[in-house]
Amino acid sequence: MTSWLDPKLDVVFKILFADPSNKDLLLSLLSAVLRPSEPIVKADVLNPDVPKELAGDKGIVLDLRLKLSGDRYVDVEMQSDPRQGVRKRALYYWARMYGQQLFRGMEYTALEPCVSIFFMGYSELPGKRFHSIFRVLEVHDQELYGDQLELHMVELPKVPGLAGAAKEAEDPEGQLAAWGTFLMARSEEALQELAMMNPVFEKAKKALEALSGRPDVQEIARQRELALLTYKLELGEARAAGKVEGKAEALVLVLERRFGKLPSDLLTRVGEAKTAQLEAWLERAVDGGTLDAVFDPPSQH
For 102-158, write each residue's pLDDT tens digit: 888 889 999 999 999 999 999 999 989 999 999 999 999 999 999 999 999 999 999
Nearest to 71, CA basis, from 100, 29, 104? 100
What's the pLDDT at 25? 96
What's the pLDDT at 260? 77
What's the pLDDT at 220? 87
Q: Name the more confident of 66 and 285.
A: 66
Say which range, 6-20, 50-64, 93-107, 228-242, has the weakest mean pLDDT.
Answer: 228-242
At residue 2 the predicted structure's pLDDT band, cuts being 50, 70 and 90, is low
What's the pLDDT at 165? 58
What's the pLDDT at 1? 44
What's the pLDDT at 242? 46
Q: Please, which residues bridge with residue 65 across strands?
A: 75
Largest CA distance in the chain: 73
Buried b (16+ CB within 10 A) or exposed e, 124-160: beeeeebbeeeeeeeeeeeeeeeeebbbbbbbbebbb
Q: What is the C-alpha to C-alpha distance for residues 217 and 220, in angstroms, rounded to an integer?
A: 5
What is the residue-wise DSSP string for 198-249? Answer: -HHHHHHHHHHHHHHT-HHHHHHHHHHHHHHHHHHHHHHHHHHTT-HHHHHH
Which residues, in sequence order, are CB contacts of 71 under 8 Å at separation 6+? 112
Q: Residue 166 corresponds to which amino acid?
A: A
Instruction: Supply the DSSP symbol for 290.
Output: S
Name the residue ranges covered by the structural domains of the chain. Answer: 10-212, 215-292
What's the pLDDT at 169? 47
For 57-80, write each residue's pLDDT tens digit: 555 667 899 999 877 899 999 998
Which residues, in sequence order, are CB contacts of 30 under 8 Å at separation 6+? 40, 43, 66, 68, 74, 76, 117
What's the pLDDT at 281? 87
Q: Of 30-39, 247-256, 278-287, give the range with the top mean pLDDT.
A: 30-39
Nearest to 115, CA basis, from 43, 38, 53? 43
Nearest to 68, CA basis, from 33, 120, 93? 33
Terminal Cα-to-Cα distance of the chain (whole angstroms): 27
Q: What is the C-alpha to C-alpha distance for residues 278 and 269, in angstroms, rounded to an integer?
A: 10
Say which range, 32-36, 176-180, 249-253, has the weakest mean pLDDT.
Answer: 249-253
At residue 264 the predicted structure's pLDDT band, cuts being 50, 70 and 90, is confident
Say which range, 10-24, 132-146, 286-300, has the weakest mean pLDDT.
Answer: 286-300
Strand order in the sheet with 114-120: 43-45, 64-68, 72-79, 114-120, 149-155, 131-134
Q: Residue 182 corresponds to which amino acid?
A: F
